Structure 1
Amino acid sequence: MTTTSLRLGLAGAAVLALAACGDSTPPAAGGPIAVEARDDACAVARTAADAGTLTFEINNKGSRVTEFYLYAEGDRIMGEAANIEPGASRRLIVEVPDGGKYQTACKPGMQGKGIRADFTVNGSAGKQADANAKLAEAAKSYQRYVSSQSDALQSKTTEFVGAVKAGKVDEAKALFPVARTYWERIEPVAESFGDLDPRIDAREADLEEGQEFTGFHRLEKDLWVSGLQADSPTIADRLLADVNEIVAKAKSVELTPLELANGAKELLDEVATGKITGEEDTFSHTDLWDFRANVDGSKAAVAALRPVVQERDAALLATVDEKFAAVDALLDKHRAGEGFKSYTDLTEPEIKALAEAIDALGEPISKVAEVVARP
């Protein structure tokens, strides 16, 4: 099964249908903001909005899969809609309580810095969590989860780096997917901090011209393919320094309930655009570890929001639980000891079954943000 066919299969149910974005009538103030994404353009209907909950309706009229981002200063990701296939539409709902200068970006091919434009948020608005005790507790609960996973990421990365520097190849290979588990569980938070994410997690195939190959995947190649190199210890030290920096940032960031909801969907998009195709861990084939971790992180975000979703849409929550259980059952079939079998050991029907299960889960997860955004 090809990468393209898998992505197209996943896109069907996971994409939330929206009204067309091509209407030339200016949208009402405070209403949804239409975005027309093309291969060489990113037309955002408005360049300013009042602080509060913003809704972007993205229509991909290009020929390539694209993403849409709203960035704060320092390239901090406020919200992201990923894996938007040609001809498809997605809705991004994001809470922006603070006025200031932001940027919008479309990323044709899901690569690079994107086609950017300035976006201004005016005034300020009360945070959802400040007005709703259940939403406030959801944000605190997920922050505790991020903190615990960050501690484990730091600890296991330290062990992994130590093994690499000591030339203990078998030990380093065993620690590689374990350390990455904690990274993958909190990936939407980790990805929000500018250049740290590509330094830690960039894949060789995705490098831009002049970009150095560093981080987990560079060491993965050294361990499984080329053998440890003269600069492997230096790469390992840099990885640990970057992880230490991102752990400190992740622990201090204030997350909104909508960031939790969007993060739950982003983690499933990570599976759909990388893990399910075997592109993520192309040297070690430990993709199922990452797959499991992304699903764990998505489930943790939903768990934090559970009281709110239960109150506002119990039927949706029941469907989400059912679909999570189906994915869990499939993953359990591929366990090997304390971890998982090599991704290359899966048959095409097994990969297709996993893709379909993620597809079925992605559809209800995509609705959680709209439930959380309700006043």
Structure 2
Amino acid sequence: MSHSPESRTPASAPFRRLIYAALAVAALLVLAALLLFAYASRTATGPQRGNTHKVVVNDSHCEPADFRLPAGLTTFEIHNASRRPLEWEILDGVMVVAERENIAPGFHSLLTVKLRPGQFAITCGLLSNPRGSLEVVPTADSEAERLRPPLQAFIGPLSENRVFLIMQANALVREAQALADAVAAGDLATARTQWLAARLHYKRVEAVAGRWSDLENRIDPQADYLAGREDDPAFTGFHRLEKALFGNADLNGLLPLAQQLTQDAEQLKARVRESQQAPHDLADSALWQAQRLLESAIVQGENPYAQSDLYDLQANLHGMAKSVQVLDALLQGANAPLAAQLRQQQADLQAAVLALRTGEDFLPYRDVSTAQRAQLQRLLEAWAASLAQVNAALGLE
């Protein structure tokens, strides 16, 4: 049933007006909240804006006109107290470093800029107004950043390290083939010599090669990580050959395993040639290898039959040192004390390893005492701690 306008209650019209008024007030409150939020967002300080400095520009000058600020991220809150739209600029000579344009009278604008050390000028509204000045003083962070090398400076170190890796991978293939040839000839003494020669080349590239798990699991699997240990079909590569050559002194059935090692070495050589390291990989690879050595190899050794772990360690250190040595010139410019510390720690570790020789040969690892192993561990831990600082010093983190 419909109702005519005359049938509505007298209170309905004022009630509707009250509702409309309430809605209007609510809308204004929402708008005000949004404006306050926008203002707060624009004027907030924090890591993304740095410290905020207020500038009031009137018809004839800025207040303040002169600033002395530390280098780094800074925000200027520019208020237009003049009667005309204005611009506010930071100038380096005639070059505009940063600017805000068309700030309307009575309004303000934020300008966030990363200041670098130096002397700069400030325009204050009209071009006829006197200029202000900005002195930016260096900080520890700005000095560190200034000393960091540009990315193109890493081209030489990366190329030099890549050549080293390729040469070691090529030598690994040659020595692995010579090992297979000695096994085929039934020459146990030569096979043992070639096993060690091939293994040293692998250990020099292990900081990179060890990242390819499929190849590492064929070239250098540890029996302890296999379900069947030495009897497991996956027990292949260097340690399976080591057991036969140094444990059993038996070449029977060993040729297929030696040939497989040669094939895997060929694959490794191809991957080394194809791979491209990034600048941060140089120090990271050395640090990664140091952590692996600290976790197990130094404490208990890896070659139970050949007892040649000190040879392994020296070869590992050679490869790790190479990836750090190619960075030495850059690191001296960025952080000379760290560069000197790395060189000294590497020398101390190398001396400790060489002290475990008898004549031209290293001691069997079983003859290295707990105290001597602990010393190696401490020296490597110290070197690793310094390696962990290299990328940050070079601006690569």
Aligned 1:129-278 pairs, distance under 5 A: 132-208=151-227, 212-228=234-250, 230-278=252-300
Q: What per-residue deviation string (whole Å, max 9, x for no partner) do you get for residues 7-64 of structure 1?
A: xxxxxxxxxxxxxxxxxxxxx99xxxxxxxxxxxxxxxxxxxxxxxxxxxxxxxxxxx
What SS class does the counterpart of residue 216 from structure 1 fall into?
A: helix
Instruction: Give yes or no for the alignment of 1:328 onto 2:350.
Output: yes
Return the letter of the residue paired with 2:185: A
What SS class does the counterpart of residue 186 from structure 1 fall into?
A: helix
TM-score by length of 2: 0.59
Whole-Å separation in 1 of the counterparts to 2:213 and 2:248? 29
Q: What per-residue deviation string (whole Å, max 9, x for no partner) do you get for residues 266-307 of structure 1?
A: 221232123212331122110001110111111100011112
Compute the displacement of 1:364 (Å).
0.5
Whole-Å separation in 1 of the counterparts to 2:361 and 2:379? 20
Q: What per-residue deviation string (whole Å, max 9, x for no partner) do you get for residues 187-220 of structure 1?
A: 1221233411110010111125776111000000
> Which residue number corresponds to residue 320 of structure 2?
298
**272-281 or 304-313, larger mean C-alpha shift:** 272-281
What SS class does the counterpart of residue 394 from structure 2 fall into?
A: helix
Q: What per-residue deviation string (whole Å, max 9, x for no partner) do you get for residues 61-83 of structure 1?
A: xxxxxxxxxxxxxxxxxxxxxxx
Gaps of 5+ in 2: 1-46, 49-148
Q: What per-residue deviation string (whole Å, max 9, x for no partner) do you get for residues 143-185 of structure 1?
A: 0111111122112222222222322222222222221111111
Instruction: Give yes or no for the alignment of 1:357 onto 2:376.
Output: no
Deviation beyond 4 Å, 4+ runs, structure 1 = 208-211
- Residues 152 and 337 from structure 1, CA distance in 2 versus in 1: closer, same or farther, beyond 3 angstroms? farther
Compute the displacement of 1:332 (Å).
1.2
> Which residue number corresponds to residue 279 of structure 1?
301
- Residues 351 and 164 from structure 1, CA distance in 2 versus in 1: closer, same or farther, beyond 3 angstroms? same
CA contact (8 A) 1:258 1:373 kept: no
Q: Which has the higher contact order (CA 8 A, sep 6+)?
A: 1
Whole-Å separation in 2 of the counterparts to 1:182 and 1:144? 14
- Residues 371 and 201 from structure 1, CA distance in 2 versus in 1: closer, same or farther, beyond 3 angstroms? same
- Find the structure with the greater CA-based Rg: 2
What SS class does the counterpart of residue 192 from structure 1 fall into?
A: coil
- Residues 206 and 279 from structure 1, CA distance in 2 versus in 1: closer, same or farther, beyond 3 angstroms? farther
Compute the displacement of 1:337 (Å).
4.4
Aligned 1:336-347 pairs, distance under 5 A: 336-347=358-369
Question: Identity across aligned pairs (percent)?
Answer: 25
TM-score by length of 1: 0.62
**CA RMSD, Structure 1 to Structure 2 (Å):** 2.3
